[in-house]
A and B are shown apart, each in its own frame.
Chain A
Amino acid sequence: MEQFEPRIMSELEGQAKAFFRVEMLLEAALASLRVKQAESLLFGKMTVLHYRMFGGEGDAVYRAAAAVELMILGLDIIDDLQDEDHGGMPWHRLSKDIALNLAIGFLTLSQETLLYSDFPLERVHESAVFLNRQMLVAINGQTLDLLNAARDEDEYLKMVEQKSAALLVCACMIGVILATGQADERVAEYAREVGIAAQIKNDYRDLLDWGNKNDFLRRKKTLPVLFLLSTAEEQDERWIVDYFAGRLQPEEVLHREEEFCAVVQRTGTALYTSVRMRSHYYRFLNIIEGMEMDAKWRDLMIEAAR
């Protein structure tokens, strides 16, 4: 695909310089955008890819892709402030009140950027409505995540569908709407499957990483944690169940990381998580392979989701 990264980055920096007038805010904004660039602007890439996939031409899509990235960045900052996660990020060098302002600024700038993109007004309107709706879905999902309210896997997957997958659906669909004037339910379905698969993968990684945020230590109910809890008791690993129920304190388990990782393997948690993740990936493949489109775009999307 074309060199999308510098084009999106140029839009992002241009918008930040135009609207963040306070020097400290602008510096923090530019530093945050550089973090996004280092992460390869994946959501914006999905907007450009789907715009091209559905026949869109011209350069106006880069501004729309920037709008998507600004929304993701605003939500990422809020998520990190809530979870006290990713301590090295530029927004953590700000006081919380300023960091929150930066996040609100990015979310508002996302709207501004999309509303003033160079597309027919009705398509801009449709895409802005879609972006807002998906953001609201994600905020509901994020709230469920913060409440740690999932009682079983079905509830967990519903939360993930809202919190994470909705944003990937948004990134893809903005490209589709701007190219064709309407949403495509098949794209929503496959993007949802990729989003869920990616979240399951992240949850597994977060389970084994005791150096950073760890879902087990934080007693967070994720798919691998729920499976682990259901099998740990059967296999006489009471300490895991006791810690999760609050009957043991962190200092009583912190030295057991190695043992914990062995239990994750022994109970089949790794196998189970892997199968669940791949099932969603295969659902995605099944949908996209059934769609009529230029093989070039399909291959790019499959490669991106791998």
Chain B
Amino acid sequence: MLKEMIRKIVTEPEFMARIQNGQLQLAGMSAFEQRAFLDVMQERKPDDSLRKSAYWA
């Protein structure tokens, strides 16, 4: 489910707008995945969080 959503976001520009307008259900994702997904979609800056020096590295 998550993989499909991400694939659509990068291939269908209008899909992102539908998510941001709350027009899409996130059924099939766990509550934690939904929260993480909406977080990342709001920021659209995954690199910033991922590139920060890892605390446990």
Using CB atoms and an 8 Å cutoff, list the residues of chain A in contact with chain B. 42, 164, 168, 194-195, 198-199, 201-202, 204-205, 208, 227, 230-231, 234-235, 266-268, 270-283, 286, 304-306
Contact of A268 among B6, B32, B50 (CB under 8 A): B6
In the complex, 21 of the A-B residue pairs with CB atoms within 8 angstroms, ordered by the A residue number, are: A42-B56, A168-B56, A194-B56, A198-B57, A199-B56, A201-B50, A204-B50, A204-B51, A205-B50, A230-B3, A268-B9, A270-B46, A271-B10, A271-B40, A274-B36, A278-B36, A278-B49, A279-B30, A279-B36, A280-B32, A283-B32
Give A143 to B10 CA distance when docked, in angstroms.
36
The answer to whether A273 and B36 touch across the interface, beta carbons within 8 angstroms, is no
Residue contact B56 to A306, C-beta cutoff 8 Å? no
CB contacts (< 8 Å) of A164 on chain B: these are 56
**Chain B positions 35-56 with a Cβ under 8 Å from a chain A Cβ:** 35-37, 39-40, 46-47, 49-52, 54-56
The reply to whether A202 and B46 form a contact with Cβ atoms under 8 Å apart is no
Given A271-B40, A273-B50, A282-B36: A306 in contact with B55 (beta carbons within 8 A): yes
- Shortest beta-carbon distance, B9 to chain A, in Å? 6
- Which B-chain residue is minimally distant from A277 (CB atoms)? B50
Shortest Cβ gap from A33 to chain B (Å): 18
Q: Flag if A275 contacts B40 (CB, 8 Å).
A: yes
Measured in the bound complex, the distance between the Cα atoms of B42 and A274 in whole Å is 12
Closest to B49 in A: A274
Smallest CB separation, B7 vs chain A (Å): 6
> Chain A residues with Cβ under 8 A from B54's Cβ?
198, 201-202, 205
Number of A-B contacts defined by CB within 8 Å: 83
| A-B interface, 9 closest residue pairs, ranked by CB to CB distance from nearest | A274-B46, A278-B36, A198-B56, A268-B6, A268-B10, A282-B32, A279-B36, A270-B46, A204-B50
Task: Say yes or no: A286 contacts B46, CB within 8 Å.
Answer: no
- Expressed in whole angstroms, the Cα–Cα distance for A266 and B46 within the complex equals 13
B55 surroundings in chain A (CB, below 8 A): 42, 198, 304-306
Q: Which listed residue (A194, A270, A275, A280) contacts B2, Cβ 8 A? A: A275
A204 to B54 CA separation, bound complex (whole angstroms): 11
Cβ contact of A279, chosen from B7, B11, B33, cutoff 8 A: B33
In the complex, besides A275-B40, A277-B49, 13 extra interface pairs with C-beta distance below 8 angstroms are: A195-B56, A204-B50, A204-B51, A268-B6, A268-B7, A268-B9, A270-B47, A273-B50, A275-B6, A277-B36, A279-B33, A286-B32, A304-B55
Known A227-B3, A304-B55; contact A273-B30, beta-carbon cutoff 8 A: no
Nearest Cβ on chain B to A287's Cβ, whole angstroms: 11
Closest chain B CB from A277 CB (angstroms): 7
Taken residue by residue from 12 to 35, chain B's Cβ proximity to chain A (1 for < 8 Å, 0 otherwise) reads as 000000000000000000101101
Using A168-B56, A198-B54 as known contacts, say yes or no to A275 and B7 having CB atoms under 8 A apart. Answer: no
A273 to chain B, nearest CB (A): 6
Using Cβ atoms and an 8 Å threshold, which residues of chain B touch A276? 2, 36
